[in-house]
Every structure is written in C-alpha cells, then in structure tokens.
Amino acid sequence: MPLVQYSDSESSSSDSPQPDRIHSKSQTSQGIKRKHSPTSHSVLPSLPDSFHDLYASTARVSNQDDPSLHAGRQRVTPHVQGNWPTHVYVDDAQSLQEHQVHSLLKSELGVELPLHISLSRPIVLLAHQRQPFIDSLTRAINKTGLSPFEVAVGGLEWVANYEKTRWFLVLKLERPPQNGLNKLLHLSNQTVTDFGQPPLYTDSLQSSTDGRSRKRQAGNGSRSKGITGAAASSSMTRSGPSTDIDMSSSFHISIGWTLGAPTHGLRERVDATGIDFQAIKVDINTVKAKIGNSITAISLATKIDTSRRMF
C-alpha cells in the first residue's frame, strides 16, 4: 500500500492536533458538526401513570391463603379459585412525588406500591362480571360530568382496619370544595352493590348512627323504640351512604402498616413530624379499577370509549 504524502505544515500540525479538528464521530451524514454544551444536562421526562400501573399489584406466589407469604398479613376476603379480586381507587403518583411523599408499602419484589385513595373495599367478581363492572362504573362516572379536582392533606395518623388485623400510617384528607370524593364514593358504592358486593365505609356510618340512636333512646325512654332502624335507613341508601352524607373523615392515603397497634414511641414520632401537610395537594383526575392484575383508568370529564372491551 503506498504511503500518503503530507506537506511539512500538515505534518507539523498533526503533532499537536486541535480538539475541534477531531469531530468525525460527531458529524451527521450531511457532514454537519453537532455542538454540545459542556454544562447542558438532559432532563428525563416523568414516567406516565400507565407505567406505575404495571407495578400496582404484588407477585402471585400461591393460590392458598398463607400469611407467612405476605409478611403475616391475613386476607380480609379469602381467596377462591375463579374469583377476581377487585379494587376501585384514585391515585396521583406525580404530585405526591413532587412533595417527596414516598410509600412504605412494598410488594414481594421490593417495588413501592402506588399511593392511593380507596373508593371500594377489596371485593371479588366472577369472570363474566369483569367487563360489565367496568362498563357500569364508566357510565356512572361519565354521567356525572365530574371535573378533575384537588384534595389537601390534613395530617398524619395511625388508624386500624375494620377487622383490627392491621394498623396503617395514613395521610388524612380534607373535604374538597366540590365534594368530589364523596360523589365518587357514592358512584363506586352504587356500582359494587349492583354486583352483589358490600359498599365502603357503611360500617362506620352504621356504628355512629346506632350510637347516636342509643343516646336518644336513653333520653326519651320507651317512646324511642325502633328509632335505630329508622335512623339508619334515613342515612343509608341501597348503595351505601347517600351523597349528602359527608364521609370526608374516612378518606385517607396509607403509606405504611404494622400488624400490631403502634407503640407510644411510634405515636410520639408521628405527632412530632412538624410537616406542613397543608402544602401537600393531591390532584384527582382519574378513577382506576383493578381487576386481577388488569387496571382500567377512567378519566374525569372525559368521554371513554366503552366499546373497546378488555375481557
């Protein structure tokens, strides 16, 4: 192969090559050199909600109820082959992450579970009920025309579940201006009741109603017999609490849990956080229904094409 001849000027300059002369790897096919600022840093876009939905469920490791496989937790609703566990909720991972609110709830794979506000109990559906349930819930939400809204966090508390099998560290929520959470709860309760499942928060409402009724009975004597049933029926509908009943004190976001009641030390640490919870806002713009590992997102004030069947 013949040697390539260079002039003296070229050979001398090659001894100390200039950085801007070496740019063959940064050229495009048209020979245009790309210039990159040494101080510029690319900002990664935030992940879409659909990505977080991929990890909203824990890993299925057994078809039997074995608390040892779930850190000692016991199922509120026993697993039955052929039943599909279902949950209706709202979440807003992005706004909570902006306030550096992190979930202490993790799956068996070590992945943080999404922070959410429950609109239903853990219920079960049969296989043929899955799509009709989604269709019914979607129609109910679209019919109201409820627009996206914002919810403020009111504080941090320890609360127990109804069965007293677990205690949760929760962010308590305040009542939004347009009463959006109560409206969504009513729609969810109506839908799950139509499918033969128990509504959410009716037990606490029934207990408080019975307590007030017993006090009235004690004060009025025998004239108040039978008032308990009447009071309960006036405050309840076939689908749970009516829309004029304020259940705002029941709404919360769980961020951690323990099998036993929290110790005095844990309660003191929670009370001494000194966090300005009023600055934490949660944007509610989507209702989600999780059936098995499949999640359907229903946007508020947006028409959803229910002709696209999932099951």
Supply the residues annotated as catalytic. Answer: 116, 252
Q: How many helices (H) and strands (E) does the chain have?
A: 8, 11
CB 231 within 8 A of CB 212: yes
- Count Cα atoms within 13 angstroms, Cβ side, for 278: 0
Residues shown for the chain: 311
Q: How far apart are CA 107 and CA 58, in angstroms?
A: 5
Q: How far apart are CA 22 and CA 13, in angstroms?
A: 13
How many Å separate Cα 22 from the centre of its chain? 52
Burial tier of 17 (Cβ tally within 10 Å: 0-12, 13-18, 19+): exposed
Residue identified by tokens 């110790």 is 263
